[in-house]
Amino acid sequence: MNKTWHIIKRELASYFGSPIAYVFLIIFLILTGFFTFMMGGFFQSDEASLARFFVWHPWLYMLLVPAIGMRMWAEERRMGTLELLFTLPLSAKQAIMGKFLAGWLFLGIALLLTLPMPITVCYLGDPDVGPMITGYVGSFLMSGAYLAISGMTSACTRNQVISFITSVVACLLLVLVGFPPVTNLLLKWGASSVLVDFAASLSVMFHFESMQRGVLDLRDVIYFVTLMAFALISTGIILKQKRS
């Protein structure tokens, strides 16, 4: 655990030791504010809730989280420090978890900086706090799933641009797979309703939307945790092959 914590501190220092962290935080806050108030019509809705705030998170994370995850392993490979990292007295599992948890913690900090949003809602009205809490929990879990996928694609290449594009496409597929145009297309191709329902259940929107409504279902939590575990295990397999 101490070695993993050492990696976490190292990665967080590298984030905040460069303009990357500050640029990301500023862009994230500006975009969340823009989409909530300008595109979402927050004040025009006359509704004391964060529904118009959370609805944009899957799309924002799809573009912003890969910008954090793309350098996770691609940068190590490009600079030739991946081999040096694995010569240190720590396992590949500790290195992978350390890098992932550091990035996830950073995304959690970005999410915490949006707390003035629910404070404003509580000041202007009398909202139901439950959907706010579960919405933040779902948003944090979704960001972790996106980050794990981005880390997996980063382990496949030393080119950060390729990693970024691949991550965006993978996250986009996880969003679109549950949309009616996609499910209707599957039905048109002759897929069974059971297969279509299974495909829709793989969508992050399917699980995140219930959390936005204030429902904290264990199945939704398991979905995001499983997605993270799959991506992290795949990252370990990829790095093991690259190392050998």
Token pair recorded at residue 215:
């429902």
* CA neighbor of 110 nearest in space, from 58, 32, 34, 39: 32
pLDDT recorded at residue 136: 93
Output the pLDDT for position 153: 92
The single residue listed with the structure tokens 């030393």 is: 158
pLDDT reported for residue 86: 67
Q: Note down the domain range covering 172.
A: 2-243
pLDDT of residue 117: 86
Local structure of 32: helix, strand or coil = helix
Residue with tokens 């990357």: 20
> Which residue in this structure is represented by tokens 């979704």?
142
What sign for the dihedral angle of Cα 68, 73, 78, 84? positive
Length of the chain: 244
End-to-end CA distance of the chain: 25
Alpha-carbon gap, residue 65 to 125, rounded angstroms = 32
Instruction: State the pLDDT at residue 82.
Output: 66
**225, 141 contact by CB (below 8 A):** yes
CA distance 182 to 222: 24
Count of the separate structural domains present in the chain: 1
Half-sphere exposure for 88 (CA within 13 Å, toward CB):
14
CA nearest neighbour of 55 among 135, 160, 111: 135
pLDDT in tens, the chain (244 residues): 677 888 888 888 888 888 888 999 999 999 988 888 777 676 666 676 787 888 889 999 998 999 888 888 777 776 666 666 666 667 778 888 989 999 999 999 999 999 888 888 888 777 778 888 999 999 999 999 999 999 999 888 888 888 899 999 999 988 888 777 777 777 777 777 777 777 777 888 888 888 888 888 888 999 999 999 999 999 989 888 866 6
